[in-house]
């Protein structure tokens, strides 16, 4: 059997090379199919590797709690809220929490001004604990301290993007910026974090939570976010269950009512992105498999032509002793090699395409192609070759020797 | 050769044909290409079949070569009842017992002379190196040792036919079958080829030749004349025609 395969491969290669251009055109369908799969996979794989890294920078064992108003409730004018009392409750009662911080977003304009420069940014009121929870370290100056909150100081810690947008000096500490009509002194500059899925982590302005509260008008309407990090031995699921029970109780929810808050983990967020990416991959994979099918039909067509062209040759081979399986193997292997060749070219092309795309778009992660995708691309193209080679090969193998020899 | 088929071991003849017919239905008319041919051929014989165009010579030779099957009749080759063999067993016979030489050479166009001669050995379990050796020897034997790497279209007609003969010889077959081997060659080249056949015959090779030229047929031991698919004369070579 090995002998037959070896010999067939030898003659298949000769015949593929003899029709170089035709072989290439035949296999173009496979080339395009495989190239697009590989390009898509290399891009999405690069993306999800990148997302994984980004999310660990968010603090991998942290939880975010925010209020959630179902649409049906919102229609009735009811708005769910998370209050400072909820925060207190969690601080007092929840176990397994290492640090916890409220986040209060500026409700009105988030305009930031320095001298003549104005920009819009994410202004958040928070506490010293934010540093640990969100893994936000200062590059220069200091972070918000507990005393800043106690005395409602008008101080702020900003990200690099804000510094650059406002034309502040390299080290902006001790400069002043105007937030919502009040002047704040810059006490710290955050380390650059880059962006996660288009959200610039450096476009951020932090002020003390209590200062922010005093700036937000109506205290009864306050809706905060709570971010907390878990102590090492605590399990995410346990803490989530505990928090859910606490908050449901505090919000007087009946057993048949839905939660009016959401607890998100960084991991969950990552999984969501992964799901989206997998879906995209799947859909494109489906489209691509159609193009592989078309490519396979192209190969079948040219193999049928080739069998007809070589009818006499087949007759000669049969006359000197070729058995059915010799002829079958030769044409099958030729179809497979043809398709595999297309797969290889497609692989190189697709990877090149992925790399070109990812490097031409700023902030797009570099393309990466996993081994399984290479195996899949080549395996699949080889399979397509065999599948669509069967019919022509069987046709050749079943030729009657005398008819084949007489063929003009 | 191990073949699980009907054998007639008592049969001393290399070839034994009994009432072989080949009929073609062409619409409403029946063409009797062969019509009840019975003949026995011994090992080491050189038999020429002669007849005008359309007398059934090629049809006959194709049946002898197990390329074609008769409509009716019995064919024993080496005592093996050929009619009961399947396609793969026939391929095995063509590979081991028969060397076929065609009027139009029938070389593989993309293979070199050496490659063509090696090809029948590909269908046996013989390693590449050994195949080369055997093919070289065969090409030397037909006097083409210096043209091994030429493609068929880089060879003259006579050289091509020599390659074809080498290909037929390389498997050391029981019979060489040649269908008008000199039909496409000029008289000088034909003479060379016939001399080669004569040499092979003197080495003990069984030869069956089809021709429509009396002087070519006359070179063998025995001449069988065909007309309209029937044997009309079976004589020793050199015997007067009438
Ligand atoms: N496949 C076929 N279908 C129908 N008739 C055929 C077929 N092959 C041969 N014949 C007929 O059988 C007869 C014998 O043909 P064959 O080829 O054996 O002649 P031949 O003696 O070899 O002639 P030539 O010397 O011209 O080669 C011819 O009448 C031919 O028309
Ligand atoms: Mg003929």
Q: How far is CA A37 from the centre of its chain?
A: 16
Which tens digits make up the pLDDT trace of A79-95? 888 888 888 898 888 88
Tell me what the mean pLDDT of segment B214-226 comes to.
89
Tokens 């010799």, residue located = A326
- Work out how many CB contacts closer than 8 A connect A with B: 59
In CATH, the number for domain B45-65+87-221 is: 3.40.50.300
Tell me what the mean pLDDT of segment A226-233 comes to.
85
Which residue among B27, B30, B31 has the greatest number of ligand 1 atoms within 8 angstroms of its CB, and so is best to mutate? B31
pLDDT of residue B202: 93
Residue A370 · residue A334 · CB < 8 Å: no
User: Is residue B9's pLDDT more than 70?
Assistant: no
Residue B163 · residue B155 · CB < 8 Å: yes
Enumerate chain A positions whose Cβ falls within 8 A of a Cβ in B: 3, 7, 14-15, 18, 312-313, 315-324, 326, 401-402, 405
State the DSSP code for A366. P
Look at ligand 1, atom 1, and give the residue with the nearest C-alpha. B24
Which tens digits make up the pLDDT trace of A294-324? 888 888 998 899 899 999 999 999 999 999 9
Nearest C-alpha neighbor of A192 from the set A184, A183, A201:
A201
Where does the pLDDT of residue A59 fall: very low under 50, low under 70, confident under 90, or very high at 90 and above? Answer: low
Tokens of A49: 């590797």
Q: Is B58 on the interface with A (CB under 8 A)?
A: no
Which tens digits make up the pLDDT trace of A166-212? 989 999 999 999 988 889 999 999 988 876 656 677 888 999 999 88
Q: How many CB atoms lie within 10 A of CB B149?
A: 10
pTM of the model as a whole: 0.70
Nearest C-alpha neighbor of A223 from the set A346, A389, A85, A354:
A85
CA–CA gap between residue B215 and residue B232 (Å, rounded): 18
Q: Which helix (H) or strand (E) holds A140?
A: strand A138-141
Ligand nearest to C-alpha B59: 1
Tokens of B96: 């081991």
Domain edges within chain B: 45-65+87-221
User: Is residue B2's pLDDT more than 60?
Assistant: no
pLDDT of residue A196: 63
Q: Which helix (H) or strand (E) holds B223?
A: strand B222-227
- With a pLDDT cut of 70, the percent of chain B lying above it is 94
Q: Mutual orientation of helices A266-309 and A28-57 as an angle, nearest 10°?
A: 170
User: Is residue A58's pLDDT more than 60?
Assistant: no
Contacts of A321 in chain B (CB under 8 A): 91-92, 94-96, 120, 123-124, 171
Please state, rounded to an integer, the average pLDDT across all residues of chain B.
Answer: 90
User: Is residue B35's pLDDT more than 80?
Assistant: yes
Mutation for testing the B interface, residue in A8, A310, A316, A334 having most B CBs under 10 Å: A316
Tell me what the mean pLDDT of segment A362-384 comes to.
81
pLDDT of residue A14: 82
> Ligand 1 centre and the CA of B56: distance in Å?
6
Which tens digits make up the pLDDT trace of A245-303? 999 988 888 888 888 888 887 777 777 777 887 887 788 778 777 888 888 888 899 88
List residues, by chain if needed, whose CB lies under 5 Å from ion ligand 2. Answer: B 58
> Ligand 1 centre and the CA of B58: distance in Å?
7
């Amino acid at each position: 059997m090995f002998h037959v395969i070896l010999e067939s491969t030898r003659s298949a290669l000769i015949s593929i090379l003899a029709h170089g251009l035709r072989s290439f055109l035949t296999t173009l369908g496979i080339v395009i199919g495989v190239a697009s799969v590989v390009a898509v996979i290399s891009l999405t794989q690069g993306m999800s590797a990148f997302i994984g890294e980004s999310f660990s920078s968010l603090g991998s064992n942290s939880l975010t709690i925010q209020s959630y108003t179902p649409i049906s409730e919102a229609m009735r004018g009811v708005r769910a809220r998370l209050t400072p009392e909820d925060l207190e409750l969690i601080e007092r009662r929840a176990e397994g929490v290492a640090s916890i911080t409220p986040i209060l977003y500026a409700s009105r304009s988030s305009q930031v001004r320095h001298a003549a420069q104005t920009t819009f940014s994410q202004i958040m009121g928070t506490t010293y604990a934010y540093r640990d929870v969100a893994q936000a370290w200062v590059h220069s100056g200091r972070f918000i301290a507990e005393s800043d909150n106690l005395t409602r100081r008008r101080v702020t810690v900003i990200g690099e993007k804000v510094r650059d947008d406002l034309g502040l000096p390299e080290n902006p500490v001790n400069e002043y910026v105007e937030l919502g009509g009040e002047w704040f002194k810059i006490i710290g500059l955050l380390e650059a974090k880059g962006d996660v899925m288009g959200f610039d982590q450096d476009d951020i302005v932090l002020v003390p939570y209590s200062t922010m509260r005093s700036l937000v008008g109506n205290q009864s309407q306050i809706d905060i976010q709570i971010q907390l990090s878990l102590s090492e031995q605590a399990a995410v699921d346990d803490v989530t269950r505990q928090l859910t029970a606490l908050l449901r109780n505090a919000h007087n929810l009946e057993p048949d009512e839905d939660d009016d808050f959401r607890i998100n983990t960084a991991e969950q967020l990552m999984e969501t992105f992964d799901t989206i990416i997998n879906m995209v991959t799947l859909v494109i994979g489906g489209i691509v498999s159609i193009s592989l099918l078309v490519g396979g039909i192209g190969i079948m067509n040219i193999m049928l032509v080739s069998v007809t062209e070589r009818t006499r040759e087949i007759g000669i081979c049969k006359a000197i002793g070729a058995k059915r399986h010799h002829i079958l193997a030769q044409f099958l292997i030729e179809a497979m090699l043809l398709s595999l060749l297309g797969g290889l070219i497609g692989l190189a092309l697709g990877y090149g395409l992925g790399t070109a795309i990812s490097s031409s778009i700023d902030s797009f992660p570099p393309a990466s192609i996993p081994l399984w995708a290479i195996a899949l691309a080549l395996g699949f193209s080889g399979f397509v070759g065999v599948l669509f080679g069967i019919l022509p090969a069987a046709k050749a193998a079943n030729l009657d020797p005398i008819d084949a020899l007489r063929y003009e | 050769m191990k073949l699980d088929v009907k054998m007639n071991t008592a049969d001393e003849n290399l070839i034994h044909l009994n009432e072989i017919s080949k009929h073609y239905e062409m619409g409403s008319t029946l063409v009797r290409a062969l019509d009840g041919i019975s003949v026995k051929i011994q090992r080491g014989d050189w038999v020429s079949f002669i007849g005008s165009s359309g007398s059934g010579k090629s049809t006959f030779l194709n049946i002898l070569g197990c390329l074609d099957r008769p409509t009716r009749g019995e064919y024993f080759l080496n005592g093996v009842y050929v009619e009961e063999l399947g396609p793969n067993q026939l391929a095995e016979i063509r590979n081991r017992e028969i060397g076929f030489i065609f009027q139009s050479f029938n070389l593989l166009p993309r293979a070199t002379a050496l490659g063509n001669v090696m090809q029948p050995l590909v269908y046996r379990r013989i390693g590449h190196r050994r195949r080369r050796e055997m093919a070289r020897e065969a090409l030397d034997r037909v006097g083409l040792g210096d043209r091994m790497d030429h493609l068929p279209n880089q060879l003259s007609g006579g050289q091509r036919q020599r390659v074809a003969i080498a290909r037929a010889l390389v498997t050391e077959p029981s019979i060489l079958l040649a269908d008008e081997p000199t039909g496409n060659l000029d008289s000088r080249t034909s003479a060379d080829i016939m001399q080669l056949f004569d040499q092979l015959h003197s080495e003990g090779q069984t030869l069956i030749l089809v021709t429509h030229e009396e002087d070519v047929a006359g070179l063998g031991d025995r001449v069988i004349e065909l007309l309209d698919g029937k044997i009309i004369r079976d004589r020793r070579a050199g015997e007067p025609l009438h």
